[in-house]
Chains A and B, each alone.
Chain A
Amino acid sequence: MKYTIMVNEGPYQHQSSDTALQFARAALEKGHEIFRVFFYHDGVNNGTRLAVPPKDDRMLQKEWSELAEKHGLDLVICIAAAQRRGLMDASEAKRQGLNADNIAAGFRISGLGQLIEGGIESDRTIVFGD
């Protein structure tokens, strides 16, 4: 089955990011396909590379990056939500005249159309949120 996953909450504050990650892993292990993971609302904070959780805690942002690299996942951060919350890739930072970017490996920034396309193209769309 082909899935699109939507993540609507930030890491650590809320469990939905953990649950989405665990679901994605389990689906891939069972041989399912993940068309796209779309991060919205505070969920965009899953895509920062500047998080430094305590050593004995899980490292959610890094785990998303690693899962993306292993399985070629398409991790998309909503640009409108990202701009509000200060998530930047290099080209967006340049466009906004800012001197830093903070997007983690494996993530890309794009528009809400990517979410709708995911809904159209996938057999199931699953929302992880509050």
Chain B
Amino acid sequence: MAKKFMYLNRKAPYGTVYALESLEVVLIAAAFEQEVSLAFLDDGVYQIAKGQNPKAVGMKNFSPTYNALGDYGITKLYVERESLAERGLSEEDLMPIVYEDEDDDYAEKPSVQVISRAEMAQIMAEQDVTFSF
């Protein structure tokens, strides 16, 4: 039976390597036919912010990879509303990440779900395995 795997992203996309190496784990995990979801909270919400351009600091912009997650069957990206608000951000500041729903004639649907801290806690409690980055 498939387990529920959650990948918690808490740190900004640049400055440390956690976000990039977390994404590398997620892409491998997709091949294992488990139920995978991602959560973005604290500074982790910046990982899927629109308009990233870290060229001037010598880093590669890896944010387009999040758009490919749907093709890997990863369609649940939970974002904590309070973390956005604490940083002066809203859902409009996030990349419009979508997936094609094969059970609904490949209709494009949003992968990102902005949820409250309380809802996040409940979803976390339902997981079998949680990796925190």
Contacts and interface: CB of A to CB of B under 8 A. Distances in A.
B21 A120 contact: no
Contacts of B28: 111-113, 116
21 contacts: A40-B25, A80-B24, A84-B17, A111-B28, A112-B28, A112-B29, A113-B28, A116-B25, A116-B28, A116-B32, A117-B32, A119-B3, A119-B34, A120-B34, A120-B129, A125-B130, A127-B130, A127-B131, A127-B132, A129-B133, A130-B18
B84 to A, nearest CB: 22
B21 A41 contact: yes
A125 B132 CA distance: 11
Give 5 nearest A-B pairs by CB, closest first.
A119-B129, A112-B28, A125-B129, A116-B32, A116-B29
Interface string A91-121: 0000000000000000000011101110110
B94 to A, nearest CB: 24
A5 interface: no
Q: Kindly state the interface size class of chain A when it binds its partner.
A: 10 to 19
Nearest to A112: B28
A88 interface: no
B interface bracket (residues with beta carbon within 8 Å of A): 10 to 19
Interface of B: 3, 5, 17-18, 21, 24-25, 28-29, 31-32, 34, 128-133
Interface of A: 6, 8, 40-41, 80-81, 84, 111-113, 115-117, 119-120, 125, 127, 129-130
